[in-house]
């Protein structure tokens, strides 16, 4: 089988394709014929050696991928041959609160999905909705679940409340789509004005181009009366404006705490002094969260937004394209 491994960290030259023997599933394991995989910001951080969780040397990258069960070891009960599955980001985190025993991640400390076949414990995978193509099905594990967790974590926003999403990467667009499913109103901020129409077409009720309105926090607050929930993917570049935009008792789910150069988010004291906003954090989500999200996706026949699809042999090109940052939705790599 053909498999990519990260043999060195630092740049894309470290991503190398190898031919390896097909693994045989052991007890409670499944062998998945991977049909597509997709990229998240964390995959570029793992490649560049800046991810907070140290990756294993020679790891098969990417948490996100979809395929069918090709073989099953003794004792497998969750799946049968031919079932369509995707992996769970924190493979060992089934439910409840995150704790130190469940930090292992696909594509970081456990071999991931950028491979012709992936060997997974049956507990690390979930079944996929039927209406999704392979490319679509390969996009939910990290960005989808993160957006879902941000919206359904502590308190689900009520219909009519305002949700703010930032940028047009995977997390932001899933958050936009899920917030619309929940009957919320959505404001979107983008650094590229030319994306405004596409954000509106996805259901954004209000779109602000940050370059044209750098003080967008006050503008949003005036127009909406205050944002109820911010899905904060921008980090230090946007956090202060998100706080200004928030309603008195608003909530900010802070997903990005530092930018790619290591600059951290700073809380502007003068603004926060006048605010009762709750700032919370999360790490993607558990397997039960993934299953709950996919049930909603199936019910509403929701389709993810795909920016571009690359052939398996061009995985390095896919990384390069994603790293440039000018994406609208998910960057997908087709199966081998």
Ligand X SMILES: NC(=O)c1ccc[n+]([C@@H]2O[C@H](COP(=O)([O-])OP(=O)(O)OC[C@H]3O[C@@H](n4cnc5c(N)ncnc54)[C@H](OP(=O)(O)O)[C@@H]3O)[C@@H](O)[C@H]2O)c1
Q: Are 44 and 29 in contact (CB under 8 A)?
A: no
Q: How far is the CB of 336 from ligand X (least distance, A)?
A: 23
Structure-token pair, residue 58: 């020679």
Q: How far is the CB of 78 from ligand X (least distance, A)?
A: 25
With CA atoms as reference, report the closest residue to 1 among 27, 21, 17, 24: 21
In the range 65-94, which residues lie near ligand X by CB under 6 A?
Answer: none
For residue 190, what are the β-bridge partners? 209
Q: How far apart are CA 113 and CA 282, in angstroms?
A: 23
Structure-token pair, residue 40: 């998240």
Instruction: Decide: is 251 part of the binding site for ligand X (CB under 6 A).
Output: no
Q: How far is the CB of 17 from ligand X (least distance, A)?
A: 23
Q: How far apart are CA 136 and CA 129, in angstroms?
A: 10
Q: Are 58 and 17 in contact (CB under 8 A)?
A: no
Binding residue (CB under 6 A) for ligand X from 40, 105, 177, 247: 40
Structure-token pair, residue 293: 């999200």
Instruction: Decide: is 284 part of the binding site for ligand X (CB under 6 A).
Output: yes
Q: Are 223 and 203 in contact (CB under 8 A)?
A: no
Region of 11-19, 167-175, 216-224, 292-300 interacting with ligand X (CB under 6 A): 167-175
| Contact track, ligand X, 206-245, x by CB under 6 A | ---------------------------x------------
Instruction: Decide: is 283 part of the binding site for ligand X (CB under 6 A).
Output: yes
Region of 106-114, 170-178, 222-230, 288-296 interacting with ligand X (CB under 6 A): 170-178
Instruction: Decide: is 112 part of the binding site for ligand X (CB under 6 A).
Output: no
Binding residue (CB under 6 A) for ligand X from 2, 78, 192, 198: 192
Q: How far apart are CA 211 and CA 77, in angstroms?
A: 53
The residue written with tokens 């630092």 in the block is 10
Q: Are strands 117-121 and 2-6 parallel, antiparallel or unpaired?
A: unpaired
Instruction: Decide: is 308 part of the binding site for ligand X (CB under 6 A).
Output: no
Region of 10-18, 188-196, 240-248, 313-321 interacting with ligand X (CB under 6 A): 188-196
Q: Which residues bind ligand X (CB under 6 A)?
A: 40-42, 142-143, 146, 167-172, 190-192, 195, 233, 255-256, 282-284, 325, 327
């Amino acid at each position: 089988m053909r498999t990519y491994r990260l043999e060195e960290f630092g740049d894309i030259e470290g991503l190398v394709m190898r031919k390896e023997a097909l693994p045989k599933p052991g007890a409670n394991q499944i062998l998945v014929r991977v049909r597509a995989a997709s990229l998240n910001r964390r995959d570029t951080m793992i490649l560049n050696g800046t991810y907070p969780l140290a990756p294993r040397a020679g790891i098969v990258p990417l948490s996100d991928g979809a395929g069918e069960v090709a073989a099953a070891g003794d004792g497998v009960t969750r799946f049968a041959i031919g079932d369509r599955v995707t992996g769970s980001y924190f493979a060992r985190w089934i439910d409840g609160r995150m704790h130190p025993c469940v930090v292992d991640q696909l594509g970081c400390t456990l071999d991931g999905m950028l491979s012709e076949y992936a060997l997974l414990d049956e507990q690390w995978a979930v079944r996929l909705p039927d209406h999704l193509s392979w490319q679509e099905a390969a996009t939910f594990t990290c960005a989808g679940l993160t957006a879902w967790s941000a919206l359904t974590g502590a308190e689900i926003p009520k219909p009519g409340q305002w949700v703010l999403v930032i940028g047009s990467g995977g997390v932001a667009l899933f958050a936009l789509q899920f917030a619309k499913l929940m009957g919320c109103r959505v404001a979107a901020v983008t650094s590229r004005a030319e994306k405004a129409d596409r954000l509106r077409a996805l259901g954004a009720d209000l779109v602000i181009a940050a370059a044209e309105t750098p003080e967008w926090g006050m503008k949003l607050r005036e127009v909406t009366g205050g944002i109820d929930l911010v899905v904060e993917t921008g980090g230090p570049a946007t956090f202060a404006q998100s706080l200004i935009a928030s309603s008195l008792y608003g909530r900010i789910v802070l997903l990005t705490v530092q930018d790619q150069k290591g600059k951290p988010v700073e809380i502007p004291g003068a603004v926060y002094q006048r605010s009762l906003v709750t700032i919370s954090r999360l790490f993607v989500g558990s397997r039960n969260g993934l299953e709950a999200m996919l049930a909603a996706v199936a019910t509403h026949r929701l389709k993810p937004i795909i920016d571009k699809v690359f052939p398996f042999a061009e995985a390095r090109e896919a990384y390069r394209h994603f790293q440039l940052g000018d994406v609208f939705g998910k960057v997908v790599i087709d199966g081998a």
